Amino acid sequence: MLNILFYAPFSNRSRDAESVMLECRRQGHNVIFISSYESGAIHDFLRSRGIPVHVHSVTKYNRIAGIISQIFFLIRFCRRHNIQLLFSHLESANFISVCAGFFIRAQVIINRHHADDFILNNWSNSWTYRFTNKMVKKCIVYSQVAKRVMIEQEGMNSSQLIVMPLLYDFELYNKVNHQVVQQLKAKFPNELILTCIGRLVEMKKIPRAIYVLENLIRNGIHARLFVLGEGYLMSDLKTLVNQLGLSDQVVFLGRVENVLDYLTFADIVLHPSVSESSCVVIKEAGLTKTIPIVCDQVGDFNEYLVNNESAILVSRDNFVEGAVEFISLYLKDIGKYRHIGENLNQIILKKFSIENNFQLYDKYLNNRNEI
């Protein structure tokens, strides 16, 4: 039995991280969670499942003082609680964990949820990111693409990197509320329903989903787009929608917890993102058997998706044209493409279910001296 600490700047629910925490606890390990946020949905959820939650907020400090405060707090905490294994998530926590790792007995394994942010966000200028790359002993990445980028572009060694699927206990998702779905269908009858889910940031390319809608409407198709997510581009996206005269056809919902209700309601998920490691949205689409349109050669899509079999893969440079072409075919014979959602569901449950794949963690939980 190990004392395992999960450390991350989470406040919202993170079902992949929650799934691993709960499975570690189910297998008899002592699990603790530390967040740098005072409170949030994930705090309440983990406490309800019996996992101790500790908070170390540094909002009152400047950046350097905050970093130092977090490092010393983590060192003291790991020593006091005899932590043997430390999993950290996201870059701020990863840097703190790597620094603390020099002064604690716990094995530190960081988790990277991105693939090419180093390039897209110019993280080569970040000394904390470069330090983490140089000093970390083990780093979990969630796709072969992420591993390749971190070796070829970031200079990391293959021996530092562990490729692991992003695992879920899918029972942690709220069940689809079919009453809500029926209400939505009654409110928007006889329309093609599209949804686009993700952070409203540049690399997610949300405007392309809006242009898909514009093309469909121009072609005489009654369609509506629901955008789920938050981000700094919200105002710009609303301006674009108004400029295109689509304010009645695009609904911005912000961040919602009942995402599966909207995926069940939708006919097609548009996902024009050009930066992924292992996309959460497509896992969720698989749960509801909703057809996704994604960019070819992005993230781990090509590791488990097959075009016209479990998803529609289109060129990242011609997403709008490719999506419009497929949707036009889809509307001529909807039943012909129903197998795509069914196949996606089977793949997601097989490849990303924690129940079927948690043995991949056994090496780190039971044979740590071999790592």
Based on the domain organization, do 361 and 277 belong to the same domain? Answer: no
Return the percentage of the chain with pLDDT > 70, whole number. Answer: 97
pLDDT of res. 118: 67
Q: At what angle do helices 91-100 and 63-80 cross, to 10 degrees?
A: 60
Is 212 found in the same domain as 65?
no
- State whether 231 and 149 are in the same domain: no
Angle between helices 280-288 and 338-352 (to 10 degrees): 120
Is pLDDT at 370 greater than 70 in this prediction? no
User: Sheet holding 192-197: strands in order across?
Assistant: 250-254, 223-228, 192-197, 268-271, 291-295, 312-314
**Do 70 and 186 belong together in one domain?**
no
Q: How many whole angstroms separate alpha carbon 236 and alpha carbon 251?
A: 14
Which has the minimum average pLDDT: 238-252, 307-321, 350-364? 350-364
pLDDT at 187: 97
In the chain, helix, strand, coil percent, each to 5?
Answer: 50, 20, 30
Kind and range of the H or E run holding 197: strand 192-197
What is the chain's mean pLDDT, rounded? 94
Question: Do 161 and 57 share a structural domain?
Answer: yes
**Is 286:344 a contact under the CB 8 Å cutoff?**
yes
CB 140 within 8 Å of CB 112: yes
Write out pLDDT tens, residues 205-217.
Answer: 999 999 999 999 9
* 29-57 per-position pLDDT tens digit: 999 999 988 889 999 999 999 999 999 98
Q: Do 229 and 257 fall within a single domain?
A: yes
Q: Which alpha helices (DSSP H) does the chain contain, by range?
A: 15-26, 41-48, 63-80, 91-100, 117-120, 127-135, 144-152, 178-187, 206-218, 234-243, 259-265, 280-288, 301-304, 319-332, 338-352, 354-357, 362-366
DSSP designation for 175:
P
pLDDT, mean of residues 328-356: 97
What band does 61 get if pLDDT is binned at 50, 70 and 90? low
Percent of the chain clearing pLDDT 90 (strictly above): 89
* Domain identity same for 307 and 339: yes
Q: How high is the pLDDT of residue 117?
A: 72
- Range of the structural domain that residue 203 is part of: 174-352
In terms of domains, do 67 and 95 share one? yes
Span 78-99, average pLDDT: 97
Collapsing DSSP to helix, strand or coil, 355 comes out as helix
Give yes or no for residue 121 having a pLDDT over 80. no
CATH number of the domain enclosing 107: 3.40.50.2000
pLDDT band at 367 (very low <50, low <70, confident <90, very high): low
Q: What is the pLDDT of residue 58?
A: 75
Among candidate residues 325, 329, 279, the one with its CA nearest the CA of residue 302: 279
Q: Based on the structure, what is the number of domains in the chain?
A: 2
34 or 61: whose pLDDT is higher?
A: 34
Q: Judge if 121 and 66 occupy the same domain.
A: yes
Indicate if 257 and 283 belong to the same structural domain: yes
Helix (H) or strand (E) holding 161: strand 161-163
Taking the C-alpha atoms of residue 36 and residue 3, their distance in angstroms, rounded to an integer, is: 20
Q: What's the residue count for the chain?
A: 371
Q: Provide the pLDDT for residue 368.
A: 54
Q: Are residue 263 and residue 338 in the same domain, yes or no?
A: yes
pTM: 0.92
Same domain for 150 and 226: no
